[in-house]
Amino acid sequence: MEEARATVGTEPERRRRVGRLASGGAIREAATRLFLEKGYQGTSMDEIAAVAQLSKQTIYTHFASKEELFADLVLGNTERVDEFVEMMSRTLAEARGSLEEGLGKVARAYLRIVVRPDVLRLRRLVLGEASRFPDLARTYYERVPGRVLKELELVFGRLAAEGRLKIDDVSLAADQFAWLVLGLALDRGMFYPAEDATRDVDLERIADSAVRVFISAYGR
């Protein structure tokens, strides 16, 4: 009997947990859409509640304030960096034949990720709110572009130690590689509409030529 009561008692709680998870996803989806379209100041919690089809009180059970929800949106989009960093390290570790070929794969993947319209919109949003949320902007930088640069430093350091690259300053080399690859497309992405940033731009040509310039400077 006690066991039966315990089982019955846990079912409502299980449903509540599932409901909280589902509403959390709806809130994040609505907030992402509105923040990216209208900015932080132009978005209200009432609008987020309406788009998510939830009560404002439900939103406040997940997030104490609009500021907390905004931070969740910004930092929640750092997860894809983990996949790219892992791919980059694996690709260059396995590039035993042609280092230029391995760097080319990394450069093309790097460029494709950074110039995605949703990524460009998020970057512009973070930049636009950097004066309001300086700590959040700094954290985003450290977790996204800064983390990739740190991994490039480690990778280039290993390649230099193996004698496959000739680099005295791996930090500077990492910065140079990133901007050779990203510079043009990322600059356009800060001014053009996100969907048009890479229109008529040959991304593979940019990535491959960036690698050739890098190899000509640091290759053995």
Q: Please, how many CA atoms are within 13 Å of residue 127, restricted to the half-sphere of its CB?
A: 9
Instruction: Note the pLDDT of residue 198.
Output: 84
CB atoms within 10 A of CB 164: 18
User: Using CA atoms, how far apart are residues 140 and 165, in angstroms rounded to an integer?
Assistant: 30
- Domains of the chain, each with CATH number or no CATH: 2-65 (1.10.10.60), 77-218 (1.10.357.10)
CB atoms within 10 A of CB 93: 12
Instruction: Note the pLDDT of residue 96.
Output: 66
Select from 61, 48, 76, 52 the least CA-distant residue to 17: 61
Write 31-37 long-range contacts (CB < 8 A, 24+). Answer: 31/69, 31/70, 31/72, 31/73, 32/73, 35/70, 35/73, 35/125, 36/118, 36/121, 36/122, 36/125
Q: What is the pLDDT along the chain (220 residues), one digit of tens a residue?
A: 444 444 444 544 444 443 443 467 899 999 999 999 999 999 999 999 999 999 999 999 999 999 999 999 998 867 778 888 998 888 887 766 688 999 999 999 999 999 999 899 999 999 999 999 999 999 999 999 999 999 999 999 999 998 999 999 999 999 999 999 999 889 988 898 888 888 888 999 999 999 999 999 999 7
Q: Given phi > 0 = left and psi -120 to 50 = alpha, else beta, which region is 166?
A: beta
Instruction: Note the pLDDT of residue 199.
Output: 84
Token output for 154: 């480690």
Instruction: Note the pLDDT of residue 83.
Output: 87
Distance of CA 47 to the CA centre of its chain: 25
